[in-house]
Amino acid sequence: MARNTGNYTAVYGFPESADAARRLAGALEIPCHIAELHRFPDGESLVRLPEPVERAIVYRSLDRPNDKLVELTLAASVLRRQGATDLCLVSPYMAYMRQDAVFRPGEPVSQTVVGDWLGRCFDRFVCVEPHLHRTHTLDEVFVGRPSVALSGAAPIADHLRANGVAAGTVIIGPDEESAPLVEAVAGPLGLTGIVGRKERRGDRDVTVALPPDAPIHGRPVVIVDDVISSGETIFSCARAARVLGAGRVQVYGVHALFSDVVAERFLAEELGSPLSCDGVPHPSNALSLSGLIADAVKSFGTE
């Protein structure tokens, strides 16, 4: 019996994430095609897509999003013109989600703008830990479009289990927004989960406080977060854990956006090399999202 792939017939990837697109296509047992990109001297993009199909999955994470948003729009237009009737955008990292309200006069609600933009191009969406704050579901971003927001917890928990995580390990998240991720990692492993409180004064000025009575002393700690970029949140969280007597500290991030300079700081802070999921291509990638995403795509076929 053929596997249910939600009736999608091909995955389209882009050069920077071609390997992840191929892994997803392999999990779905359908072909994968990689878009050709050309950048003109003035910065404009040209997108070429081979092999027109009727129902396509377009795979691209939107880290460093501005050029990618335009190229996704062009790609969707090509597929529509070639006869595609259903386009599913798999964007493990979805950009512009944090600005979900006007915080100061004169600012846009970027989440609404980008949600409307992409909603005009694609019929369905799959994202991983899309950094939603006051917005409760991805359906509120892509109004009228079936959408799935996946947690990155299962790959982290699976990796910890496979590597023999100690029974006394404490899973820590730096703030309230990380609470669902902490619970979803710690729960299946039977571990203690703790959530800190973060005070952010600027992009690189962050302090994390942990409960002073947290049962951390002498125990190994695993810090988990949805996004690691400047690393300041993780560094502050690790220091707070060590003040409370934490033993070895490991770090997992769902999306790794940090530079080589930040990676060196992790080593200097004696945190080792963080491990991340492969939604955003990065040297720290150690956890595959392809099976998780494939299951979500196949669920569209049951509607």
Distance CA 90, CA 23 (A): 13
Q: Which amino acid is at 166?
A: A
Q: Are 208 and 240 spatial neighbours (Cβ–Cβ below 8 Å)? A: yes
| CB proximity list for 83: less than 8 A, separation 6 or greater | 52, 54
Mean pLDDT of the chain: 93
pLDDT digits (tens, 9 = 90+) for 170-181: 999 999 989 999
The domains of the chain are located at 10-150+288-302, 153-272
Q: Which of 22, 55, 145, 198 is catalytic?
A: 198
What is the model's pLDDT at position 100?
Answer: 85
Distance CA 138, CA 31 (A): 28
The tokens 């790794």 sit on which residue?
A: 256
Distance CA 172, CA 197 (A): 11
What is the model's pLDDT at position 203?
Answer: 62
Collapsing DSSP to helix, strand or coil, 144 comes out as coil
pLDDT digits (tens, 9 = 90+) for 35-87: 999 999 999 999 999 878 889 999 999 999 999 999 999 999 999 999 999 99
Closest CA to 191 of 237, 233, 213, 222: 222
Topology (CATH level 3) of domain 153-272: Rossmann fold (3.40.50)
The separation between CA 252 and the C-alpha centre of its own chain, rounded to angstroms, equals: 12
The model's confidence at residue 23, banded by pLDDT at 50, 70 and 90, is: very high
**Mean per-residue pLDDT, 105-130:** 95
Say whether 198 is catalytic: yes
Q: Are 28 and 7 spatial neighbours (Cβ–Cβ below 8 Å)? A: no
Collapsing DSSP to helix, strand or coil, 217 comes out as coil
Q: Please tell me if the domain spanning 10-150+288-302 has the same topology as the one spanning 153-272.
A: yes
pLDDT digits (tens, 9 = 90+) for 147-200: 999 999 999 999 999 999 999 999 999 999 899 999 999 999 999 999 999 887
What is the reported pTM? 0.91
What is the model's pLDDT at position 10?
Answer: 94
Is residue 301 over pLDDT 80?
Answer: no
What is the model's pLDDT at position 134?
Answer: 82
The tokens 């695993």 sit on which residue?
A: 222
The model's confidence at residue 275, banded by pLDDT at 50, 70 and 90, is: very high
What is the model's pLDDT at position 206?
Answer: 80
Least confident of 176-180, 202-206, 244-248: 202-206
**Mean per-residue pLDDT, 233-239:** 95
**Mean per-residue pLDDT, 84-93:** 96
Closest CA to 217 of 201, 241, 236: 241
Other CB atoms closer than 10 Å to residue 183's CB: what's the count?
16
Closest CA to 173 of 207, 222, 131, 230: 222
| CB proximity list for 8: less than 8 A, separation 6 or greater | 28, 30, 55, 56, 57, 86, 88, 297
CATH class of 10-150+288-302: alpha beta
Q: Are 167 and 222 spatial neighbours (Cβ–Cβ below 8 Å)? A: no
